[in-house]
Structure 1
């Protein structure tokens, strides 16, 4: 099949050129028009392929500008070399024009009852006919034109030599009907590469991605087989990058395929072996038109592909078994092959020995704005008066490209008032489309990892808590916490602030939309807030804490602010299993402070974390159990006394912040011991 040398660099160009025709066929009519060509055109029509027809072009001594435009404007040129093809100077001029092809065009060759060696060396009957054509051309011109004619003949010879080196289709070796079907199938596959993805038209930030991928792909190393992983959270743009690469590079590989793994792998997978065979069969059908034979073992692919230079994109891999079935090792493929894998799970790449990994980062502020605006306004900037609204939506999306695209489409066409009315709802819950996509990552976790994810999303997603501190909290309930956190990092559900050189100071972070996913999952546990594991946000907290009759053994964590409402001194009496209490700064007014001075009378003995900055109370006499307490943060509160009747050192309390507290008359002994 047609091929050309690999490009040494990737470029993000302006929108692709406009092609006028699918296929330009070059042929000698008397040899093939009534038989082979008519059957091929019929198969093209059946496959939706539109060839250029030159019936209305008047033929002269040489091809004119109209025919040159047709050749240059065709995605594919097919040269149908027959015995008398070179009897026509017109066909030879077409061939010269085709072989000086424009960028991006593919040339296919069909050797119809001729030998490629005779074409290349102009020997045999083919060579005899060519010599006669050259002689006629020389005889037509006087001596003054002999030099130009000789130059033209040299271009013919060069074009014949070049076209003969393109691996093509041989009518002498194949059943004609089968060969025509294969030609149409291969052309359809090539034409599919020209179809632009809607996402590729935007190209925001793609230039930087291509520069980074170029360093990993090393297309100049044509003897090396290389596997490259593209890793990042769901919705970050991994598939868009991989598809753009495929769109840019596939025409330069004799065989290429892009596979969407998730939709072709059963969930749950009850028969892994059968699922692997199905994947491999699909890959071979896409790569080498291997669609009529069902393979019986996984050794078929390496045997069929080991000498072929291929481009293979495996999109959305989430099981190591999938790579074992499709890209078991670099020896499966011929020199120069490139295998690109996208995944949310870095461990899969590491376990498969893939060292070239591109971690996709969130777009910078300018790019995030452009992505959102393209979908919301059809341009790269907001409409006048919508600037602040657009930035608020971008903040809610956390700059995740998936969120930016979905939310942009949601707001498109809305008035300013409609935007204002829609924003509060987005602050409280996820967009349904975004939720369904993010849910896949959560569903793939084991039960304990799901629990840890929910703890982080609901209790540790706002203050960038240190990894070590979160480990200490979760270790009270879960085993192997450090390894489980690493699993969540590898699956791109959380990440560590690894810019810091001191490991103990690393912070744990979670994307805004993933944190919202966790909160949404908790909300679905029950319609009644008191029956959920966590209360997150002022509305749910208010409903439970302001109800004096509320009793719940379900709630283990509360995180939110207390703006605009009071709670009673017995607010936490109905929560014996409360472990995490994080209350944010509230807009306390003078009339509210009176109630707070009553002091809380009860807090769960299982409490591990009390984070109550700006607390308006003067004493925490309710805290009398410290067996589980890991963290106490009362920064900037109005405490005059921590609690009464308890003195001593608390070995289980390694984290203690009390800056700006212990007003006049307070006792600073605990502050001194634990700091």
Structure 2
């Protein structure tokens, strides 16, 4: 029975049990009113006639509800109906793990627990005609529920409104914990979740670390994933760190291992970016996590932990995180948890026999029990000896859809396997593939585990293997998973794949794939490789000495995948020939970190190359002449400082990624680059001697281009208008031309520290996708135009002197457009900041040097981060609420190594009863900030739909707005803050139009005073700007005069 309940699909979120006589018109109506604003489905019994006994409809309603809230009042026990509901609720609590929340409405819980006082008297009256057995059942039910921690209106919350809010928050939290949709197919998951909930102990406000431990294949990651999915909605800051996350971190920081200081900094930066939802956070000391998260309630899951350094780097101490934070660490190494002093550990047990049977049936029959005629087969002793969930999953997938004869034949063969040895069982499953293509794809994926699906398909394209079908079949048989375009093979299965290859021959040089460091070193030293070898993956960090015979690869003429990598940068004694005489022509993947030779072998053929990765090589040139490169998709020569020229790439028509970053000897790109019509990413960062680019690199597929650090580059490059990410920081470029408005897909442009830059023209109204603009530390910048150029009105100097200074109110941004661009103009001291500030409608966030709050802010304060703004019982308008917030911060770091900070804006709406609603926030992170005072301005938009739709239905008395600063060991002072509310986009437009009319009226009066001027009409709808007065407006319904000297 418990199983059927735990796997059911709940019809209702909440069932309320109450006596209506003493709470219906007060507490209950308020409770319903509040809960109706939340996404909570409450069962309502208005159509059910109440009597002495519960009907089948009401019983079913109770059983179909995830949570039961019991409101005990003085007259609750006067109702047999209520007492019968309570019996059913207690029954569901035991059988279906239903969550029960008691509320004691103006009633002492002791009276319910012991049936005393007025409550006890009413109980006795109701039970007058009941049997003694029934009385005992009722007393036990009352005592059991009254012993559950709940809410007491006269003790825990004197303000009932606050208590109701707390109850609803609790209900939402429990719904997150009991949500079954993500786990319907995971047999026994609810038991695991229940055990974890006990260890997590959410009632406590402490920061708690909990471990999940057990052998490979027992289901640790599955439990963690389900638990994280259920809990994440309760934590604004949450992150799930898995092996893919760590691999990606390492991939983007080549040349370091996990205990390298810079690698740990990089890992913390990526971690903070992910958990705070802010891109590209960069830090420069390892205390940043603790400083930036110490006030945040976080949820962190670290899966598949193999290295203590990861745990120390990301969750070193509980005091790094805010109250109520939970950190869950998943590993098969219990000693890692103990070394970190994690005392709350859940050791995942093997499933019981019934659960093991259900797991097998789930995958074999898509249900928890076997089809007719199969019970005897699933009960076979050979199968019952298998308990590991991973093995049961694969066996079930293998047997899915098979008839009885196949089952019996398979069980006969399976009975000969040495049970209890997981590797033997897995090898049996591999042999059952019975498909040469699938077996070959399996061995390849054991070699490429963790790679992108697209990369594997590219490397195996045009081979004899059917990659698509093979991957699909292996997924169907649960031997691999395909998630986020990545192929994942469980470590146990991968090890089995490696063992299958090892048994191909006692001689390593005669096997298909080589991955053991010692064996590979022996093969390269002794020149014993044969044509059987398809792939080599050598991690040279595993050896102190490497010998490479000059003809080491000659015998391996069928070699397709060569990977020689390092992450530790440790000293390895190399014994090399003067040059390499041969590399196989069938190579598809050539990945060799720190390649030690000046060029490739003279006779090297490139016709099969798909991916060439030679990071930090000693190459001076690759090859001579034009080579056949039509299969090449990636070329990575990052950090090859001696590389002087790039070969002719005219034949590389399928190249998608070209990484030449930090190739500091490179002077120019070959003209053939213009033929790379499929190139998506081009990295030329810190090519310090690069002066020019080929003219008109009109590569239509180019999406990302990095020219950062190309200090000799002077002119803005003429490139494809389809680009999305453009980094021109630390270049010598002098001007951003107007035609950048044609870059319709541009999302980010970085021109930080361009000391020669003087003029910027960004028509943001046409750059619909733009999100980030960084012009910080551009000392020579004096003009930054972010809007359409208006009609300029030429006037006499006298007119200039007489026209008053107006705030610029025009904008080419449509009224329904939410500002989304983040602008950084720090240390641009020659910039006309006033003109920039007047273009407020185009940015979402802005930071610039300065210490005076702009004049258009009406709510200002100094010395405090909090401000209270009256709303005069106004309601929030549809479709969004807008708020401008400005902070003046003074930055004085203790050390120049510590220069980053996070600033956030919080706001809450408060009604006349003091109830708080809609806690919204907007963050902004800065990795490096110069000394001095700076303005940080937020243009906040809160869409009144989805989670915040209920906000638009209430009236509010005031709102609280607060800035929150988090810095790393530096001295940041909040000198002042200011806020401006745009309550209604329609109201905002009316205010703007009114201001425009006032300004035009003033201009008219000035014009009348100029008697020696000629007058031309300007038609309605024209845009006008008076240079002397900084006024710009659209003429609507009246005429304005354009003035000229006589």
* TM bracket (short chain): 0.3 to 0.5
* Structure (1 or 2) with the greater strand fraction: 2
Taking structure 2 as the reference length, the TM-score comes to 0.31
Taking structure 1 as the reference length, the TM-score comes to 0.46
* Structure (1 or 2) with the greater helix fraction: 1
